[in-house]
Amino acid sequence: MLSTEASAFFNGICDLSAIEKSALLAFGNGNSGELFIEYREKESLRIENGVVQAPNFVFQRGFGLRSFKDETSRYSYSSSLDEKSVKKALEIVKSHGGDRSVEVRSSAHSLYEHGHFIDSVKLEDKIRFLQETDDYARRKSENIRQIVVSIDSSWQVVAILTDEGKKSFDIRPLVRFSVYVVVEKDGVFESGMYAGGGRFGYDSFLSEKTGKLYVDEALRQAEVKLGAIKAPTGEMPVVLGNAWTGILLHEAVGHGLEGDAIRKKTSSFHNLLGETIASPAITVIDDGAIPGRRGSINMDDEGTDSRRTTLIENGKLVGFMQDRMNARLMNSSVTGNGRRESYEVVPIPRMTNTFMLAGDYPREEMISTVKKGIFAKSFSDGQVDVASGKFVFSASEAYLIENGKVTTPVKGAMLIGDGPSILKKISMIGNDFSLDEGVGTCGKDGQSVPVGVGEPSVLIDKITVGGASL
């Protein structure tokens, strides 16, 4: 069992029972909290312009001890996994607990492989894979002026002991592979990037087929841009492609539905629970329990099992994403969304895999209704103000729609709007739902965690399209 393997692992590097016994003294007198213990290995491999860069290996271990009551929270952490360091942390959190039984529990699900995969493939074989991918790209196109091929992987083991005496374990693999190219033709330079990954090992992922697929897609994106014209500006209909365009939903809507923003009333959605905030065809889900996905976790970083949480149902706001502290303060239920970047920081409400459910329309039918507009197939980056929901997103691949047909590629297109308004301007939802390829990393309050996004193609009846300087 996973809990047995993780427990044995920690007992091999520290006196786990002594650390837990000391940590329980942090809880009592109405205080809640948790002890979070972490061990992590990270490996980054990269080839740039045919040159193998120095491999980067990081080993990280430590604990964080938190005690909270109402809105007051105290936190201490250390990179030393020993009883003495925990006792020092107790001096900071200053609570008084007592003896209690400890219940070792396992998650209700096991969503990914948990074997130590980083050393399952020899370093020279991983480098050879990167070199072969680089060679294939150079044979594929003489227009390539720069190529970067990289693998980033992580193997994390966590143990969580809560004030309730519940002890949970998780072992989390994570892999991300990417290809970035710059092409040049007649003095014009353009770039393309394709990446993917998830919570699994190398065996089923790093293959010649994967390398060629990623190169082909990165090159296709770059070469499309070579023939692109400047994007039109103004208010117009926009059809969004599926999968990665869900990042707009994540940023413009998802962050506003996290429990801390709702409780502090810094979200534009804070007083709209039970209200219709979107088209009746829209249902939005956050689900951390999808096997193998980048944003999935067997349990969150407070020991709560991950689960499927409906946020918007048939246009109505029905739920929020909660960690333990905000759920208690709001007299709500935890949803398995208490996440943290590492043992050095406290958990906060975070998304896992956030997406919109499919509708009934083929993408071609949506496009056929647009006389003049934009088809935004994918995004590169964006900025969002959570309080207002206002956003600006840059389209990494976009095309004109003219008289119901996708025609010329455009570049520099930026979508400008706000989350609350945009939800009511979606009139058609596609039947082509897909999650992204497994590339997302979300930043909040200085912390970064892996996430997933997804949606079907959608038709936004009217949105402002701005043009970037080219």
Query: What pLDDT is attached to residue 194?
Result: 97
Give the predicted TM-score (pTM) of the model. Answer: 0.95
Determine the Cα–Cα distance for residues 114 and 98; give it in Å rounded to an integer.
34
- Look up tokens 């964080």; give the residue: 64
Helix axis angle for 83-93 and 16-23, nearest 10°, is 10
Whole-angstrom Cα distance, residue 300 to residue 322?
Answer: 11
> Greater confidence, 69 or 429?
429
For 278-287, the pLDDT digits (tens) are: 999 999 999 9
What is the CATH architecture of 2-226?
Answer: 2-Layer Sandwich (3.30)
Distance CA 392, CA 416 (A): 5
User: 456: which 2 tokens?
Assistant: 């079907």
pLDDT at res. 26: 87
Give the model confidence (pLDDT) of 258-268 as tens digits: 999 999 999 99
DSSP letter assigned to residue 276: B
Under 8 Å between Cβ of 120 and 182: no
CA angle centred on 147, ends 293 and 396, rounded to 5°: 60
pLDDT band at 304 (very low <50, low <70, confident <90, very high): very high
Q: Is the pLDDT of residue 1 over 70?
A: no
| Amino acid identity for residue 464 in this structure | T
What would the 3-class secondary structure string for 140-177 be?
A: HCCCEEEEEEEEEEEEEEEEEEECCCEEEEEEEEEEEE
Residues comprising the chain, all counted = 470
Q: What is the rounded average pLDDT of the residues 87-101?
A: 78
Residue 40 and residue 342: Cα distance in Å, rounded? Answer: 9
Percent of the chain with pLDDT over 90: 82
CA distance 233 to 373: 10
Task: Specify the pLDDT at position 155.
Answer: 97
Distance between terminal CA atoms of the chain?
56
What confidence score (pLDDT) does residue 468 get?
64
Phi, psi dihedrals of residue 3, rounded to the nearest 5°: -65, -35
DSSP letter for 127, please.
H
Mean pLDDT (whole number) for 320-335: 97
Where, residue-wise, is CATH 3.30.2290.10 in the chain?
2-226
Of 83, 38, 44, nearest in space to 61 by CA: 38
> Measured between alpha carbons, how far is 298 from 106 in angstroms, rounded to an integer?
9
Q: What is the pLDDT of residue 96?
A: 64
Question: How far is it, in rounded angstroms, from Cα 437 to Cα 160?
Answer: 30
User: With contact defined as beta carbons under 8 Å apart, do 245 and 397 qualify?
Assistant: no
The Cα-based distances of 397 to 109, 224, 240 in angstroms read: 38, 8, 11
Mean pLDDT of the chain: 94
Residues 6+ apart with CB under 8 A from 292: 111, 112, 198, 199, 200
Of residues 393 and 29, the one with the higher pLDDT is 393
Residue 348, classed as helix, strand or coil, is: strand
Q: What is the dihedral of CA 162, 163, 167, 173, to 10 degrees?
A: 0
Continuous H helices in 141-299: 208-226, 246-249, 259-263
Bridge partners (DSSP) of residue 414 are 394, 466
| Percent of the chain with pLDDT strictly greater than 70 | 98
Three-point CA angle 259, 378, 51, nearest 5°: 105
**Chain segment 171-218, per-residue pLDDT in tens:** 999 999 999 999 999 999 999 999 999 999 998 788 999 999 999 999
User: How many C-alpha atoms does 31 have within 13 Å on its Cβ side?
Assistant: 23
> Which pLDDT belongs to residue 389?
83
> Which residue type is seen at 131?
Q
Cα distance between residue 34 and residue 53, in whole Å: 40
Instruction: Identify the pLDDT of residue 56.
Output: 96
Kindly report, residue by residue over 31-51, the tens digit of the pLDDT. Answer: 899 999 999 999 999 999 999
Quick one: average pLDDT of 391-399? 94
> Does pLDDT of 470 surpass 80?
no
